[in-house]
Structure 1
Amino acid sequence: MDAAVAAIEESGPSGWSLRELARRAGVSHAAPAHHFGDKTGLLTALAAEGFDLLSSALTAAGDDLLDLGVAYVRFAAEHRAYFEVMFRPELYRADDPDLDAARTRTGGLLDRAVRPLSPGPGPEPDPDSVLAAWSIAHGFAGLWLSGALPPELGSDPEAAARPVLGKLFAGS
């Protein structure tokens, strides 16, 4: 997995082979196929691990939507290889039970934080509010990773994200 993360950081999620990963990891060329089946299996495991890492980062951030949004951006910046795979379902087996469970845990954290913004007395958050919050944090993270944001925002993704996300998330 570490070799896959390094390869993705260097050449993206599709610019390497299992044979190359085996060489990097110092194992037989058959070892990755034995453990993961194929490249898709490896990327599925990587996406599941990424959602688990993101879930941990969001849990550590607490219940405040702004803090969760900033933690989301920080995760993307610190775990770029995972982030590049997690939201590209064409790269992995989206129906994998471990991946689905990890993705569901992560989504539940966002749902809980968005609930105060949702209209109505029910226990479920408004799906549009959840999608809006995720889209804003994910969009900022993607812009940060692509280098498309103005240079005056500086080099700290958390410091750059907080005032921007705060325009919409503050007081949630």
Structure 2
Amino acid sequence: MAEDELPRQLLVAAARILEDSGIEAVTIRETARRCGVSHGAPRRYFPSRTALLGHLAKRIAGDLTAELDATENAPLPLARAYIAFAADRPHAFDLLLRHDLLEDSGAGLRSATLPLLERWRGAWRAGNPAATETEALARLTGVHGIATLVAHRTHEVLGLDTGELLAQVLAS
């Protein structure tokens, strides 16, 4: 493996671990093992587990952005795509929310996540011109809550119809 290829390979391996086993399973040692390198090799690129997770989260934010890019820039399609992402990739979705783990990662994660927030605000306010910033964020909070229920399959346990919940959250 080429030296400049190693950081990408480490992130691919970390993503697989995350998808298979969750956040707690992602360690520098296991990531290195899956890439066939010494456990010290990743530290040249990711000096801590926090750094590795932060760069992984930034990559995941890019994946979510791509999913949203593939849909119409309006609240309902954006909300559906966001919820589908949470359903399809629950561990990745959870990592994006772990600010306690990512805060000091040095990955510049906010540069990837703040545009997602701005996108929602813009889409909500375009369809609801009289809406305030707070109203736009309140709707996003509701969508996020539904996505979290779906990611953890809580909606199944509670017998909730996510389409009906979404309709309530997005009702103007």
TM-score w.r.t. the length of structure 1 is 0.80
Q: How is 1:110-125 mapped onto 2 (pairs within 5 angstroms)?
A: 110-115=120-125, 116-119=127-130
Question: 2:135 matched to which residue of 1?
Answer: 129
2:77 maps to 67
Quote the Cα distance in structure 1 between the aligned partners of 2:143 and 2:110. 21
SS at match of 1:98: coil
Deviations 1:7-42 (A, max 9, x none): 223432123421111111222222221111111001
Structure 1 unaligned spans of 5+: 120-124, 155-159
CA distance in 1, matches of 2:61, 2:31: 22
Mapped to 2, the partners of 1:109 and 1:82 lie a distance apart of 20
1:88 aligns with 2:98: yes
Partner Cα distance (2:133, 2:105) in 1:
22
Quote the Cα distance in structure 1 between the aligned partners of 2:40 and 2:107.
25
TM-score norm. by structure 2 comes to 0.80
- Paired residues in the alignment total 161
- Residue among 10, 17, 32 paired with 1:22: 32
- 89-98 or 38-47: bigger deviation: 89-98
Q: CA deviation at 1:140?
A: 1.0
* 1:163–1:67 CA distance, 2 compared to 1 (3 A): farther
Choose the corresponding residue for 2:18, options 8, 21, 46. 8
Per-residue CA deviation, residues 58-116 of structure 1 (Å, 9 max, x unaligned), is 22221220111000011112222321111110111358463121112211211111113
* Partner amino acid, structure 2, of 1:167: Q
In 1, the alpha carbon distance for the partners of 2:159 and 2:66 equals 27
Q: Alignment RMSD, CA only?
A: 2.5
Aligned-residue identity in percent: 30
Gapped runs of 5+ residues in structure 2? Answer: 1-10
